[in-house]
Amino acid sequence: MSGPDPVLRFDHIAIAATRLEDGVAWLEERLGVALAPGGQHPAMGTHNRLLSLGPDLYLEVIAIDPDAAPPGRARWFGLDRFEGPPRLQSWIVAAPPGMARPAYAGPPVALSRGDLRWSFTVLDTGALPFDGVGPPIITWEKGGHPTEKLADCGVRLTGLRVTHPRADALREALTGLQADLVEITEGPAALSVTLRTPKGEVTL
């Protein structure tokens, strides 16, 4: 008897910053909680800090690591061209091992941080698909996920809104996505996320 069909699921959201410490300070002030340590991504020349959003869902603040060697390729999340204040940059969905990834997202790149191992789709330009609002696809290797080591600070995601002029095409590309909190509608390309925090409801 075959198992359930493989599905995409909402994995995490990414806040980008030109300097990691600035992004962390910006987010901690808004949410009223402290972010946990993250680490370095040598293959991308970046580093991050993390926050649990509940079981199997988290948030990261990510920036170029000034102490890392140049990666020899475009960095993920469009960070080579990122400028301005910290802001919501991307949402990421997870595919189980062996599942065919949506073609729009680009080829998978093998990555690691500490004892975590995963593959992550990155376009050759480093840009994010669907004009910045299409989610990259992550596949975690068995035996590890960041949320397993993150303390629960009581922050929860209550909604993610994605708008794009070709919303139907994005929804079709993400057929099978299990994410009741995600709304994809037609409009100018934009992302917003709403979180329940110790300081009340916060929209980024």
Q: Which domains does the chain show, CATH number per domain?
A: 9-151 (3.10.180.10)
Q: Which residues pair with 111 in a beta bridge?
A: 118
Q: How far apart are CA 28 and CA 135, in angstroms?
A: 24
Closest CA to 35 of 135, 203, 153, 122: 153
Query: What are the backbone dihedrals phi and psi of residue 149, each rounded to the nearest 5 degrees, phi first?
Result: -115, 10
**CB 17 within 8 Å of CB 63:** yes
Q: Which amino acid is at 156?
A: R
Specify the pLDDT at position 6.
61
Stretch 148-160: mean pLDDT, rounded? 95
Going by pLDDT thresholds of 50, 70 and 90, the confidence category of residue 101 is confident
Both tokens of residue 27? 């987010």
CA torsion, points 20, 123, 43, 101, in degrees to nearest 10? 110
Q: How far is CA 140 from CA 109, 120, 137, 147, 201, in A?
A: 12, 9, 10, 12, 30
pLDDT in tens, 23-45: 999 999 999 999 999 999 999 99
Indicate the pairing of strand 190-197 with strand 182-186.
Answer: unpaired
Stretch 128-151: mean pLDDT, rounded? 92
Residues 6+ apart with CB under 8 A from 32: 197, 198, 199
Specify the pLDDT at position 180.
85
pLDDT in tens, 41-90: 999 999 999 999 998 899 999 999 999 999 999 999 999 999 999 999 99
pTM above 0.75, yes or no: yes
Q: Between these two residues, 138 and 179, which has the higher pLDDT value?
A: 138
